[in-house]
Amino acid sequence: MTSARPVDRDAIDDLERELLGRVRGRVLEIGAGEGENFGAFDLDVEWIGLEPDADRRAELATRAREWRHTAEPLGAVAEAIPLPDHSVDAVVGTYVLCSVADQAAALAEVRRVLVPGGLVVFVDHVAAPPRTLKRAVQRVATPISKRWCHGCHWDRETERALLDAGFIGTDVRRMRAKSLPFGPVPILMFEGRAPDRTTT
Ligand SMILES: C[S@@+](CC[C@H](N)C(=O)[O-])C[C@H]1O[C@@H](n2cnc3c(N)ncnc32)[C@H](O)[C@@H]1O
C-alpha cells in the first residue's frame, strides 16, 4: 500500500532513522556519501562504509572518525564489494539504489556479503505507477539526472529488483514525499532479510 497523502520530508527522515536504527552487528553502508546517516545508527554497530566518489569518501572518512568508527571507508562500487562472502550482519543504503549502474549486480553482491538471514534496509525514490504523468516525467528526467546527478535514475522499480534478488520484505512502506515542482515523489522504505540457510 502507498500512503494516501503525501508526507513531508521530516516525516520521511524520521522513518528512515527508525529503520536504520534497527540494524546491529557488522553493518555495511553502500553509497554512504558524506556520512549523513551516522546519527541514525545504534552506537554499538561496527560500521563499514563503501563510497566510490573520492571527494565524498574523504569527507565520509573524517565524519566516520568523529563517530568513532575505526574502519576506513571502502573505495568501491556496490557491484563489486571488496568483502568476503557472508561477512556482514546487515547492509543499508539510502538513495543509492537509484544511483548504482547495475541494480541486479549490486543486489547480488549485497546478498553475497550478507550472512544468511541478514538484514537489509534500503530507502529510495522509485518509479511512479505505470501510465501516469509522473512516470512519463521520470522517464524524461532520467537521462539528464543519470548524467549530472551521481547516476541518479528516477524510474527504477526498486522493490521488484529487491524481491527478484531474493530478499524477503519484513517492513515495507511505500510513501509519497511532498516535492516541488513536479508534485509528490514515490519513496520506498524496505526492511527485509536475505533467505536463511533453510530457504537458500
Ligand atoms: C544520492 S547520493 C546518497 C548519499 C547518502 N547515502 C545519502 O543518503 O545522503 C548517492 C551516492 O551513491 C554513490 N554511488 C553512485 N554509484 C554507486 C555505486 N555503483 N555503488 C555504490 N555507491 C554509488 C554516489 O557516489 C553517492 O554518494
pLDDT digits (tens, 9 = 90+) for 171-191: 999 999 998 777 889 999 999
pLDDT of residue 76: 98
- Rounded to the nearest angstrom, the gap between the alpha carbon of residue 186 and the centroid of all alpha carbons in its chain is 15
Instruction: Give the CA angle between residues 18, 96, 28 to the nearest 5°.
Output: 65
pLDDT digits (tens, 9 = 90+) for 36-61: 999 999 999 999 999 999 999 999 99
In the reported structure, the alpha carbon of residue 96 is separated from the centroid of ligand 1 by a whole-number distance in angstroms of 5
Q: Other C-beta atoms within 10 Å of 147: how many?
A: 10
Instruction: Give the CA angle between residues 36, 42, 44 to the nearest 5°.
Output: 120
Per the structure block, which three cell numbers stand in for 133?
504523468
In the reported structure, the alpha carbon of residue 29 is separated from the centroid of ligand 1 by a whole-number distance in angstroms of 10
Q: Ligand 1 site: residues with CB under 6 angstroms?
A: 30-33, 36, 50-53, 56, 77-79, 94-96, 99-101, 150-151
In the reported structure, the alpha carbon of residue 199 is separated from the centroid of ligand 1 by a whole-number distance in angstroms of 31
In the reported structure, the alpha carbon of residue 56 is separated from the centroid of ligand 1 by a whole-number distance in angstroms of 9
The dihedral through the CA atoms of 4, 97, 107, 93 has a sign that is negative
- What are the chain's domains? 9-126+155-177+186-193 (3.40.50.150)
Average pLDDT, the chain: 93
CA distances for 112 relative to 34, 44, 72, 85, angstroms: 25, 24, 21, 5
When pLDDT is averaged across residues 68-80 and rounded to a whole number, the result is 97
pLDDT of residue 3: 59
What are the DSSP calls for 30-75, one per residue? Answer: ET-TTTTTGGGS-TT-EEEEE---HHHHHHHHHHHHHTT--SPPB-
pLDDT reading at 2 higher than 70 = no
Helices then strands, each counted (H, E), the chain: 5, 6
Q: Is 161 helix (H, G, I), strand (E, B) or coil?
A: helix
Q: Other C-beta atoms within 10 Å of 192: how many?
A: 20
Ligand 1: which atom is nearest the Cα of residue 78? 20
pLDDT reading at 199 higher than 60 = no
For strands 114-125 and 46-50, give the pairing: unpaired
pLDDT digits (tens, 9 = 90+) for 117-150: 999 999 999 998 888 888 888 888 888 888 878 7
When pLDDT is averaged across residues 20-26 and rounded to a whole number, the result is 98
pLDDT of residue 198: 55
Residue of the nearest CA to atom 11 in ligand 1? 31
In the reported structure, the alpha carbon of residue 122 is separated from the centroid of ligand 1 by a whole-number distance in angstroms of 12
